Structure 1
Amino acid sequence: MTAELVRGQNHPLSQSRLEIRISAGTPIVAAAALGDEAGRINGVEWVAHPGAPTQHGLEVSRQAAAEHRLAVDLDAMTEAVHRVSVLLALPASGGGAGPARFGSVAAPFVAVTGLDGTELASYTITGLEAESAVIALELYRRQGAWKVRAVGQGYAGGLAALFSDQGLDQAQQLAGSIHEAVARGLARSVQAPPPRTAEGDRSRHAAAPAVGPDQGATAPQGTPAAPTYGGQPAGMPGQGGGQPPYGGSGAPEPNPAPTGSPINYRHPGRQTAAPPPPPPTAPPAEPGRPAQPVAGDATGWSMEERLYNQVWGMFEDLARTTAAYRSAVDFAESRMDKELEQVLSDPRSRIGGQADAAREAARARHAQLVDQAREALDRDIAQLVAESDVVEPALPPAFARWDNPVWHAYKVPMEIPMALRLGDLHLPEAERLRIPMLLRLPLERGLWIDSGRAESPDGSFHDSHEMRRLAMDTAVAHAARLLAVYPAGEFTVHVIDPAGSGAQALAPLTQTGVLTFPPAQGAAGVGETLGRLTQRVDLVQMALRGGAPDALPPGFDMSQQLLIVNDFPHGFDDRAVNQLRYLADEGPAVGVHLMMVADRQESAGFGPLLDPLWRSLLRLTPVADNHLADPWVGHAWTYEPTLVPAGSQVLHQVLTKVAEARRAWNR
């Protein structure tokens, strides 16, 4: 029987190995702190947080997420520990993005469960307003037994105020290190889709949410799904605006410029409550067989929205079904270890036929659990593969690979699409299944194409020269996609190539005439290009803040701007680096985006000056690499860029049409 706690209420715990499940309406930071008999935290080593996720019988997530699973082993606590506090905080939002207080998001839900998935106690944290950090609940020791108490104590001063109140001397430093670790995690996370709505929820074979590789807890297969609020799954991450990742209706509501302004650098205005058109219907499935998948079976205003939502649904389904499988395997191994430990701990059954039989039975139960988990995973993957087979050919150019025949019928679009495909994602458990990596448009942050030395999936290494060439090819392919999916005259690409080393890769852009300016070379070219774009950002910001967009100079280019920087840091001084940082931070809000092609190791000479720049960009690689994390359970996904097939002329054909449309628009 689950105990639904209210603030201040406690409940006895019957198990020592526990899992704390957390669901929220937005990505949050989860941590856990140990306390002595007086409730004091006696040092930073008593806190498990994203920068130090494992401490004294605790294990927490390494990144901010809308769902967390924390592992707690009360038997591993020392005699000095009398309290375990579960802490939640909103990530620090230096640029003002994201919620700044819990009062503006859905009430967080916290549940204490056993390793078998049985929910022992739960607590919905209500009544929060200006607080940005909260002690959700605490596990405490009384007369040799452990209990859980619902706390809900919030702090408007954030984690620093919380730690200070718990008696930690290094409160400010620890809070800063936690937010720094979270910022590093966000830099590798795939952009989360907006939250889904109850009206737009798709009917899919949903796997129970399970812990990801950064969280380290164990749970059996078939654990209960996350709690719901009003029929809507809790804990779905969002980027604001109300557009569901799949099965939803509408798209993000734009943040318009001041009244009377003809300039809008945000996503084209779309309503947030689209009446879902009837999706295509598939033939009735035979009894006992899953329904035949259909492309566009999510809801939305248009087929583009339905396909976008369907792709995100496939991405989440694969993340969660794989998490369920990994959790089931972890649980099977944990159970087998415990059974074998019991056999060894009893001298009477340690040797002889009885011990051998017990060991064999434990291994057999382990194999049975793993086989059951794999069977469920294979079934879900087969369904997703079948869905991918019908979705991939139906994708529009912005979502399609370069080898998709849709590109051969390409026409310059009349409006901006919802998103852009920047590559494919897959997991080792499902090598044959590739999920399109779709990024919303306009870009919310720039891109960093890593040209550093990398290891291929087959174990071979690419040398630095080869990686630079591949990185520039990848950057050009991404830039060409952006040019191709925007209407004529609404996207402009600038290139900085100080030493001219990217001339061969840039040939498709230069030869077709899609560049307004030739690639900038030398220190003078770097300074002139950065100065021009920095001035543009300043002018638009002043016009919008002053409510006088008409004051912009006549003929001002109002298109979205992309700056490709190759061979960094060659040709850059400290002033140029600061201008890059400025463009990365302030540019996206006014339509200026950055694409760096660089090796971070080669740029280490600039020291911490570059850290904010790297964190503000999404790292992509020119070769397959498992560096990206999903926004739900934090799996390490292998990313592969979508490149033009060798010998294909499709890129040249598409860019030629873009250049022709651009010239016609300028006339």
Structure 2
Amino acid sequence: MAAELVRGQNHPLSQIRLEIRVCAGVLVLTGATLGDEHGTVHGCQWVAHPGAPAQPGVEVPRQAAAEHRLAVDLAALPEAVHRLDVFLALPAGTAGPDRFGAVPAPHATVNGLDGTELACYTLTGLDAESAVIALELYRRQGAWKVRAMGQGYADGLPALLADQGLRDADDLATAIHEAAHAPPHATPAPPNEPVPRATPPSSARPAPGGKTPSAAQTAQAASEPPAPSVSPAPSSSAAPSVSQAASASEPVEPARRYAPQSGEDAGGAGPGHPGGPVDYTHPRRAHSIPSPPAPPPPSGPSAGDGQAARPVAGDAVGWSMEERLYNQVWGMFEDLARTTAAYRSAVDYADSRLEKELDQALADPRARLGGASDAAREAALARRAQLAGRARAALDRDLAQLTAEAEVVEPALPPAYACWGAPVWHAYRAPAEPPMALRLGDLHLPESAPLRIPLLVRLPLERGLWIDSGPGAGAGDPVPDLAELRHLAVEAAVALAVRLLAVHPPEAFSVQVVDPAGAGARALLPLTQAGVLAAPPATGAAEVSRMLERLTRRVDLVQMAVRGGAAEALPADVDTAQQLLIVNDFPHGFDERSVTRLRYLADEGPAVGVHLLLVADREDAAAYGPLLDPLWRSLLRLTPLPDDHLADPWVGHSWTYEPSLAPAGSRVLQQVLAEVTRARTKQW
């Protein structure tokens, strides 16, 4: 039986030669875009459309029609192609409807060449959109899957194409509409050049994918007839995606197609804000370099035998194993987000259908007589249980696959990505180069609590960190007393500082501490006893002021040197190493001038290697008035206890964040710090 998909749900493809059928009920034009590993379309030659219907591995109809058939051969796609998006658009310049909300919901099916129906999807919930991505076929661990997209664009085909990275989107959209109106005997445009096998990745946003929906829409449940969407998603002409995971009070980063954002910062600027696309490519990767090599082919069953491929660590694109693992981790994050969104959508639909059927049964007075109403209620409850059960079965299938992948990926992670309990730390040695990313903790969802996805952020840190030491941290769990909570917050800060010291070459990273009242002395012992701090912790208003003045001077001088191209002219007393400033018990002990300097360091420091890590109580900071609000909002909020504060605007999830701490009773931090000290001494 074919899988009837809901928005965001994916399904494995058991065949690689396919026929995709589209039934719209009105005239629509259809086409397909070919995307690289990031979902970026690198030119008109990557688009199959009525004016150029044949591309390697895909052929589309030449004219607008109410029904279409597209031919796809996944084995014939170029190696550079990892995603194929099937799009629909209402023809421009006709007397017909100009939005999908005014027409019957289009229906798409994916069939094998033998006529077997593999998956289907009804695009419900559309409104003002005049163009929509219906389906996405994508390669995952050597196997192909189909995903129900339903991402609509109110600004039509130009917005859809531009969102996939095409620079000449307006011109191509015009050509597509003109070609779709051409009479059947018109001479077709010559086919475009074949898609190259190695192309430069676009470092402009969006990346990878860059076309994820702005919110999850609920639709009909799996294996049920088409039904109205419970809460249709708003249309958009540009789509968001991850570069950072963010909190409901603060923003945060993932990598492949999208990043959670702060609910409070929903209107803010920056790469992570909702409504802005997300880039998973390395920020310093140049446009002119070739695409990274594809991962080695995974062992196990192929895409054509209908079985899931055996998970392989590093099964993602990238220039190195580190980059492949980074992309694979955020690919797992994306898959977990989507499969959970599909499950919740299906359950929401089942609940709304149950409520509607019960209302209809009670509205008929005749049904209240005898046992008719009881029978109707039992039948409605049974249908709801069947729908929810099928949705849960699909979720469990995807969770099992992701869990198996996590079991092979976690042991293969390098120190910068590994948890503190991983064996890799026992063989730790100081690296020669800094890593591309850092693990801040783990993320999970209620439906998949045992499955943890590492929260990775790019290095150098583009924004500071705020570890909440107040009673608002760890909401929902038993919270220790305030003194113990503040101690746990400093311990979390120390664990992050040790990781940063450990993953950078000796003398390439420096840590300084501000502890005005000395309240964090006990938790700071691993750093102070190992002698890895650049200076003793600053206590008292005078020492705090001097340290902030010294760092502010460093930022000013390095900025001037960079702008003037005279880095060699820096004074000898300026430390050019990356700097992490840990500020404990903020804002106690800070006068107005110190607060102003701290805000300056938060804004200007990251660009020249000065980063902030504040341990602070949000409520205490709020008591100082609106002065500190911009500082709090500009930092990424973390917690010392598990808390579901990371808000995901793409599908509406609230991710639970858990800090990365050393196992109870472990001395791994002390052992790593001892090796850091030994490496520094040897270098001297």
TM-score band, normalised by shorter chain? 0.5 to 0.7
Contact 1:423 1:640 in 2 (8 A): yes
User: Which residue matches 2:118?
Assistant: none
Contact 1:5 1:123 in 2 (8 A): no
Contact 1:492 1:559 in 2 (8 A): yes
The alpha-carbon deviation at position 444 of structure 1 amounts to: 1.0
- Alignment of 1:11 with 2:90, yes or no, is no
Give 3-state SS (helix, strand or coil) of 2:568's partner: helix
RMSD, matched Cα: 4.1
Contact 1:295 1:307 in 2 (8 A): yes
Give 3-state SS (helix, strand or coil) of 1:487's partner: coil
The alpha-carbon deviation at position 557 of structure 1 amounts to: 1.6
Contact 2:256 2:280 in 1 (8 A): no
- Alignment of 1:548 with 2:585, yes or no, is no
The alpha-carbon deviation at position 528 of structure 1 amounts to: 0.6
- Alignment of 1:308 with 2:326, yes or no, is yes
User: Which residue matches 2:594?
Assistant: 576
Give, in whole Å, the separation in 2 of the partners of 1:193 and 1:622.
35
Give, in whole Å, the separation in 2 of the partners of 1:16 and 1:351.
41
Give, in whole Å, the separation in 2 of the partners of 1:350 and 1:120.
43
What CA deviation, in whole Å up to 9, does each residue of 1:298-324 have, x standing for no partner?
Answer: 121111111111110111100100000
Aligned AA (2:90): L
Contact 2:295 2:316 in 1 (8 A): no
User: Which residue matches 1:538?
Assistant: 556
- Alignment of 1:252 with 2:282, yes or no, is yes
Give, in whole Å, the separation in 2 of the partners of 1:120 and 1:291.
28
Alignment CA distance shift 1:580-1:118 (3 Å): closer
- Equivalent in 492, 502, 505 of residue 510 of structure 2: 492
- Equivalent in 585, 589, 597 of residue 615 of structure 2: 597
User: Which residue matches 1:337?
Assistant: 355
Give, in whole Å, the separation in 2 of the partners of 1:421 and 1:346.
59
- Alignment of 1:435 with 2:453, yes or no, is yes
Give, in whole Å, the separation in 1 of the partners of 2:630 and 2:334.
29
User: Which residue matches 2:420?
Assistant: 402
Most deviating of 454-463 and 243-252: 243-252
- Alignment of 1:647 with 2:662, yes or no, is no
Give 3-state SS (helix, strand or coil) of 1:627's partner: strand
Give, in whole Å, the separation in 2 of the partners of 1:460 and 1:655.
32
Q: How many pairs align?
A: 488
Give, in whole Å, the separation in 1 of the partners of 2:155 and 2:518.
59
Give 3-state SS (helix, strand or coil) of 2:97's partner: strand
User: Which residue matches 1:606?
Assistant: 624
Give 3-state SS (helix, strand or coil) of 1:298's partner: coil
- Alignment of 1:353 with 2:371, yes or no, is yes
Most deviating of 286-295 and 540-549: 286-295
Give 3-state SS (helix, strand or coil) of 1:474's partner: helix
User: Which residue matches 1:279?
Assistant: 296
TM score, norm. by length of structure 1: 0.66
- Equivalent in 395, 400, 407 of residue 389 of structure 1: 407
Give, in whole Å, the separation in 1 of the partners of 2:365 and 2:279.
64
Give, in whole Å, the separation in 2 of the partners of 1:341 and 1:573.
63
What CA deviation, in whole Å up to 9, does each residue of 1:553-611 have, x standing for no partner?
Answer: 13532111110000112210111111111111111111111000000111223110011
Contact 2:221 2:350 in 1 (8 A): no
- Equivalent in 322, 325, 343 of residue 325 of structure 1: 343
- Alignment of 1:378 with 2:396, yes or no, is yes
Give, in whole Å, the separation in 1 of the partners of 2:150 and 2:325.
36
Give 3-state SS (helix, strand or coil) of 1:399's partner: coil
- Alignment of 1:468 with 2:486, yes or no, is yes
Aligned AA (1:493): V
Contact 1:628 1:636 in 2 (8 A): yes
Contact 2:442 2:658 in 1 (8 A): yes
Identity of aligned residues (%): 58
Aligned positions of 1:47-66 closer than 5 A:
none
Contact 1:621 1:641 in 2 (8 A): yes
Aligned AA (2:602): A
The alpha-carbon deviation at position 127 of structure 1 amounts to: 6.3
The alpha-carbon deviation at position 340 of structure 1 amounts to: 1.6
Give, in whole Å, the separation in 1 of the partners of 2:149 and 2:328.
32
The alpha-carbon deviation at position 14 of structure 1 amounts to: 9.7
The alpha-carbon deviation at position 657 of structure 1 amounts to: 1.6
- Alignment of 1:508 with 2:594, yes or no, is no
The alpha-carbon deviation at position 459 of structure 1 amounts to: 4.1
Contact 1:211 1:327 in 2 (8 A): no
Aligned AA (1:5): L
Contact 1:423 1:436 in 2 (8 A): yes
Give, in whole Å, the separation in 2 of the partners of 1:484 and 1:440.
16
Give, in whole Å, the separation in 2 of the partners of 1:371 and 1:475.
43
Aligned AA (2:510): T
User: Which residue matches 1:148?
Assistant: none
Give, in whole Å, the separation in 2 of the partners of 1:196 and 1:619.
24
Aligned AA (1:11): P
The alpha-carbon deviation at position 210 of structure 1 amounts to: 9.6
Most deviating of 2-11 and 446-455: 2-11
The alpha-carbon deviation at position 332 of structure 1 amounts to: 0.6
The alpha-carbon deviation at position 221 of structure 1 amounts to: 3.9
Give 3-state SS (helix, strand or coil) of 1:462's partner: coil
- Specify every segment of 5 or more residues in structure 1 that has no aligned partner in the other structure, as ranges: 21-68, 73-83, 87-107, 132-191, 202-207, 228-232, 255-267
The alpha-carbon deviation at position 454 of structure 1 amounts to: 4.6
Give 3-state SS (helix, strand or coil) of 2:256's partner: coil
Aligned AA (1:275): P
Give, in whole Å, the separation in 2 of the partners of 1:545 and 1:237.
30
Aligned AA (2:619): Q
What CA deviation, in whole Å up to 9, does each residue of 1:125-174 have, x standing for no partner?
Answer: 4668xx9xxxxxxxxxxxxxxxxxxxxxxxxxxxxxxxxxxxxxxxxxxx
Aligned AA (2:415): P
- Alignment of 1:298 with 2:316, yes or no, is yes
TM score, norm. by length of structure 2: 0.64
What CA deviation, in whole Å up to 9, does each residue of 1:429-479 have, x standing for no partner?
Answer: 011101111111110100000001157687422211111000000000001
What CA deviation, in whole Å up to 9, does each residue of 1:277-317 have, x standing for no partner?
Answer: 44252233795542211111112111111111111011110
The alpha-carbon deviation at position 236 of structure 1 amounts to: 4.1
- Specify every segment of 5 or more residues in structure 2 that has no aligned partner in the other structure, as ranges: 1-23, 29-88, 107-122, 136-147, 163-202, 227-231, 245-253, 259-277
Give 3-state SS (helix, strand or coil) of 1:335's partner: helix
Most deviating of 533-542 and 546-555: 546-555
User: Which residue matches 1:482?
Assistant: 500
Give, in whole Å, the separation in 2 of the partners of 1:363 and 1:250.
44
Give 3-state SS (helix, strand or coil) of 2:488's partner: helix
Give, in whole Å, the separation in 2 of the partners of 1:19 and 1:567.
56
Contact 1:246 1:310 in 2 (8 A): no
User: Which residue matches 1:185?
Assistant: none
Aligned positions of 1:254-269 closer than 5 A:
254=284
Most deviating of 456-465 and 587-596: 456-465
Contact 1:443 1:593 in 2 (8 A): yes
Aligned AA (1:284): P
